[in-house]
């Protein structure tokens, strides 16, 4: 019997990968190239992605229904003329051709190549299948590893990760980034349900964790748990750097909670891997333009908006040409492009970071509200206990209201509820009802202990 297995490592041309997606000092050299040089690099990679897409039934159908024929896509200037797709299209593909869908294009291979399969967390609905070819999987790990190194990760660091595992992509992907592309030691603690919070704190103390990676909400909680155990974050647990998914307000709060650790934000989704991340200057998130093209698009027309205007992030992955191409994937995450020049002389586009989800946005009396942004707004008040959940309601007369249930250090103080309400009215533009809760009281609603991304909105208007 002939053994016909093709291994993960055999599928990767490491010399070519190193030339196209640099790391360490070579990355900083590439990032300072001229815009014309960066664009030429992107065009070369984009042509390969388009050629692969035409082999995939998903794109044959998507583009064919839009009247696009082979030869119509000549380069990146044609991107805005192409249709976007999103999770709903992937889910429809899975329904059409279970269990893997037709977006991976297995049909074009005489023998199925090595494939990595994960799913999304299901935060925004039914978990979605995620498929990665060996080369594209390793490139996205390289990109995250190089970002960590650029942000200041050192060879002697001990990295404590609170990303989830199981079928979820996040924890596995981050582990690969650190273990394949840095020299740091990696602690794969996972979420609070995988490793209890008190046990995580003990692990961090025992192994001398110096870096934490994960989502802001749970990282803040771990600091509280450490203090409850009589430990001083930043002293008994020598964390000096935290990198994950957070807004500017989150960074200040988390840094304070962890004894002044330097905090960095980065953005990516399961399908695309890392899209952008803060550099040492912490002045916006740099789009990894050797591997990604990011369009910030109007929510309705899907056409790019002007720099400084908010819109959906629509991503084209320039390195995914081995299995499942991603060309104009609408994340439904909202951001805006930063204007002005980088202090680091890096010529990559910068964005403000994650500003909310357009498909989780609620419109209350004509005002668009992104629930994820409520916590950072309230962080300016010292009595806010960092946890919250939002509710949207409609009364018998059809009038909508927006309620924020906020944990507070003095949950019975009506003056504090009024102060929270005034902050939100000033920042949102309408009256918001505020209900105070004791610390920990919203955990059953947000499910912060068991989800990577806590629930932030309960829409009661249609139930």
Cβ–Cβ under 8 Å, residues 390 and 257: no
pLDDT along the chain (463 residues), means of 10: 89 95 96 97 98 97 96 96 95 93 90 92 74 96 98 98 91 96 97 92 97 91 94 96 82 92 95 96 96 94 91 97 96 92 94 81 74 86 93 82 94 94 89 93 86 80 66
Q: What is the distance between the terminal CA atoms of the chain, rounded to a whole angstrom?
A: 60
Q: What is the DSSP letter of 275?
A: E
Residue 23's pLDDT is what? 96
Secondary structure of 380-399 as H, E, C letters: CCCCEEEEEEEEEEECCCCC
Bond prior to 343 in cis (omega within 30° of 0): no
Strands annotated E in 23-114: none
Q: Helix 57-65 and helix 87-96: axis angle, to 10°?
A: 120
62 vs 86: CA distance, rounded Å? 12
Distance of CA 415 to the CA centre of its chain: 36
User: Do the bridges between strand 129-133 and strand 115-119 make them parallel or antiparallel, or are there none, so unpaired?
Assistant: antiparallel
State residue 355's pLDDT score. 80
pLDDT of residue 250: 75
Check: CB of residue 30 under 8 Å from CB of residue 22.
Answer: yes
Note the pTM of the prediction, 2 decimals. Answer: 0.82
Going across the sheet that includes 350-351, the strands are 185-188, 158-161, 211-215, 241-245, 262-269, 273-278, 285-287, 350-351
Alpha carbon 432 to chain centroid distance? 28
Alpha-carbon distance of 316 to 306, in angstroms, equals: 18
Alpha helices, DSSP H, located in 158-264 = 169-181, 197-207, 216-228, 248-257
Instruction: Give, as one character, the DSSP assignment of residue 128.
Output: -
Cβ(79)–Cβ(326) below 8 Å: no
Please give the sequence-ordered ranges of beta strands (E in DSSP) within 270-399, or none if there are none. Answer: 273-278, 285-287, 292-297, 310-317, 329-336, 350-351, 362-364, 367-369, 384-394
DSSP alpha helix (H) spans, 121-190:
134-151, 169-181
Separation of alpha carbons 379 and 384, rounded Å: 6
At residue 216, the pLDDT reads 84
pLDDT value, residue 124: 53
**What pLDDT score was predicted for residue 125?**
60
Q: Is 313 helix (H, G, I), strand (E, B) or coil?
A: strand
**Sign of the dihedral through C-alpha 70, 75, 80, 86:** positive
pLDDT of residue 248: 61
Mention every residue, 6+ apart, whose C-beta is less than 8 A from residue 336.
296, 307, 308, 309, 310, 311, 351, 352, 355
């Amino acid at each position: 019997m002939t053994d016909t297995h093709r291994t993960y490592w055999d599928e990767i041309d490491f010399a070519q990968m190193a030339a196209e997606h640099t790391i360490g000092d070579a990355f900083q050299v590439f990032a300072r190239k001229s815009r014309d040089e960066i664009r030429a690099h992107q065009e070369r990679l984009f042509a390969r992605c388009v050629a692969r897409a035409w082999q995939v039934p998903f794109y044959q159908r998507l583009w064919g229904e839009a009247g696009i024929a082979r030869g119509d896509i000549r380069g990146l200037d044609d991107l805005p003329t192409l249709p976007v797709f999103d999770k709903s299209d992937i889910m429809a593909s899975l329904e059409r051709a279970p269990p893997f869908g037709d977006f991976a294009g297995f049909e074009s291979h005489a023998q199925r190549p090595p494939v990595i399969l994960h799913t999304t967390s299901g935060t925004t609905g039914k978990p979605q299948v995620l498929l990665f070819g060996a080369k594209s999987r390793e490139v996205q790990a390289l990109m995250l590893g190089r970002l960590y190194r650029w942000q200041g990760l050192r060879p002697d660091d001990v990295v404590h990760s609170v990303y989830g595992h199981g079928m979820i992509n996040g924890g596995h992907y981050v582990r690969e980034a650190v273990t394949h592309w840095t020299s740091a030691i990696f602690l794969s603690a996972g979420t609070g349900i995988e490793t209890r919070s008190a046990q995580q704190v003990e692990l961090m103390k025992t192994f001398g964790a110096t870096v934490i990676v994960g989502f802001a909400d749970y990282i803040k909680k771990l600091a509280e748990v450490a203090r409850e155990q009589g430990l001083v974050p930043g002293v008994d647990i020598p964390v000096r750097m935290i990198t994950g998914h957070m807004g500017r307000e989150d960074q200040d709060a988390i840094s304070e909670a962890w004894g002044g650790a330097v905090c960095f934000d980065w953005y990516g989704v399961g399908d695309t891997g890392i899209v952008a991340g803060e550099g040492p200057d912490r002045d916006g998130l740099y789009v990894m333009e050797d591997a990604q093209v990011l369009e910030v698009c109007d929510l309705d027309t899907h056409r790019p908006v002007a720099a400084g205007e908010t819109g959906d992030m629509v991503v084209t992955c320039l390195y995914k040409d081995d299995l499942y191409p991603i060309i104009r994937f609408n994340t439904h995450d909202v951001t805006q492009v930063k204007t002005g020049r980088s202090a680091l002389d890096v010529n990559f586009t910068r964005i403000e970071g994650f500003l909310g989800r357009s498909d989780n946005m609620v419109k209350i009396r004509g005002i668009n509200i992104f629930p994820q942004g409520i916590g950072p707004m309230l962080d300016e008040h010292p009595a806010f206990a960092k946890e919250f959940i939002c509710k949207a309601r409609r009364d018998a007369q059809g009038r909508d209201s927006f309620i924020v249930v906020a944990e507070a250090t003095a949950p019975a103080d009506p003056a504090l509820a009024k102060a929270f309400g005034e902050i939100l009215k000033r920042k949102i533009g309408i009256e918001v009802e505020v209900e105070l809760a004791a610390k920990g009281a919203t955990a059953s609603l947000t499910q912060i202990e068991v989800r990577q991304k806590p629930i932030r909105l309960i829409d009661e208007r249609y139930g």
